[in-house]
Structure 1
């Protein structure tokens, strides 16, 4: 199945959530599959595309989130997300992603994703800005102080301050790109996630994407260090792409392992 054909595969079950995605930036780096094997859920492995495994930073704005059959809710789903992910595959041949982190400021989404989906959402001050074809996403995790519980007292701040982690990406979108590699990096079957000692697959479906090239203006931060990928943003990505917008639907897939 070609990557573009994946976008039109019907969902096997009713959608769990429906989202409008806007100002989507995909930055990907080539890696040796062995380097990433320990970073993906059991029952999956790094997906080898064009001779390499791939790790990515993706960033986008969620709007008009809907949990069928209810109407859209800005409270539930208007947010910016900055992610670090590994492209994955499984024995059923599904080409997905395994999120190492999804940083966002939307607390209800964080709680729901951890409890129901197994996706590692993390609280951060994430924001997006667009001017014409220039798109910027920034996420900052604030420092967290360790807390100690003292007998007979509430938990109080104390101990060392943990370092914050951040990431910024700013690009200028260019001409449309229609290559097999671009389609493989942007169009995935769904999400592989770990929940309650099981690896789950959540199907993802959207219309075929219009993908554009991008010129890098800024890329920095140490967010990848928090998820076992230190120094990732020190090098320009091997692929940098933009999608202006799409509608994404998620549905239950199955237990992988």
Structure 2
């Protein structure tokens, strides 16, 4: 199973790419679930993909750099973003194995606007950041629900000292902490692994997304991945609660993997239903 799965995302795009990214410092954490427990979280025309006898719920965190919207050149700083997701691996009736994002948390407002308008992917405004020291990868994302509803308005009106959770932000609200959802991840990458399970969980053909009244499939293409095992030093937060998956972090992940980097191209796939 490993070789067909590994080659899955290397299949050429059916249509010209919509976006191209350098995808770096990718963390994948996955937990086993019963398929029925996740079925309500995926759009019609898809179902949770059963891999190694289980459906899976996951977290991924990564950095996009050198984002390009062909035929335009890379967009520099504007095209660099940190993203933290909660997701479910899926399969549709045509056998395309993708992923459904319950949320993609990022501070990149143009990406949020474009994803909602064009892709149907649930991007949400959050103060997300990443750091790497050697083989240790750290991610932190803090989402303030009220600001997430109106990210353009909040960024435009931000004053000095008003970053999420900062003393300035508390002062403007009379010292009362505002509701928020967050996640913190710190993992240490280890040796290369080459197993069917690791490949299936990390190499997906695209994204299944609900847009208006339809389920769409966006194709993802990249070279075969070099996957490394990892162990967690920290993984906590209540972000899963905000997207209908409470208790996801209550136990250790059943799979924890790291991919140092690759180049990812996204293109239009098909209407699923």
What TM-score do you get using the length of structure 1 for normalisation?
Answer: 0.92
Give the number of equivalent residue pairs.
247
How many Å apart are 1:143 and its aligned residue? 5.3
1:171 corresponding residue in structure 2: 187
How many Å apart are 1:75 and its aligned residue? 4.2
In 2, Cα distance between the equivalents of 1:143 and 1:173?
32
In 2, Cα distance between the equivalents of 1:38 and 1:143?
23
Aligned: 1:229 with 2:245: yes
1:139 corresponding residue in structure 2: 141
SS at match of 2:37: helix
In 1, Cα distance between the equivalents of 2:178 and 2:270?
37
SS at match of 2:223: coil
How many Å apart are 1:229 and its aligned residue? 0.4
CA RMSD of aligned residues (A): 1.9
Contact preservation (8 Å) 1:143, 1:161: no
In 2, Cα distance between the equivalents of 1:57 and 1:181?
16
Aligned: 1:40 with 2:5: no
In 2, Cα distance between the equivalents of 1:38 and 1:142?
25
In 2, Cα distance between the equivalents of 1:83 and 1:53?
17
1:104 corresponding residue in structure 2: 106
In 2, Cα distance between the equivalents of 1:75 and 1:59?
19
2:31 corresponding residue in structure 1: 29
SS at match of 1:34: helix
1:204 corresponding residue in structure 2: 220
SS at match of 1:116: helix
1:129-167 Cα shifts (integer Å, max 9, x gaps): 00000000110012538x9xxxxxxxxx99x98721000
* 1:148-163 → structure 2 map (5 Å cutoff): 163=179
Higher share of residues assigned helix: 2
1:192-249 Cα shifts (integer Å, max 9, x gaps): 0011110000000000000000011000000000000011112110000000000000
1:246 corresponding residue in structure 2: 262
SS at match of 1:122: strand
How many Å apart are 1:5 and its aligned residue? 1.4
How many Å apart are 1:76 and its aligned residue? 3.8
Contact preservation (8 Å) 1:144, 1:161: no
Q: Which runs of 5+ in 1 are unaligned?
A: 148-156
What TM-score do you get using the length of structure 2 for normalisation?
Answer: 0.87
SS at match of 2:229: strand
2:154 corresponding residue in structure 1: none
Runs (4+) of structure 1 moved beyond 6 Å? none
* 1:25-104 → structure 2 map (5 Å cutoff): 25-104=27-106
* 2:8 equivalent among 3, 6, 9: 6
1:51-106 Cα shifts (integer Å, max 9, x gaps): 00001000000000000010000244201000000000000000000000000000
In 1, Cα distance between the equivalents of 2:269 and 2:231?
36
In 2, Cα distance between the equivalents of 1:253 and 1:75?
28
In 1, Cα distance between the equivalents of 2:237 and 2:115?
24
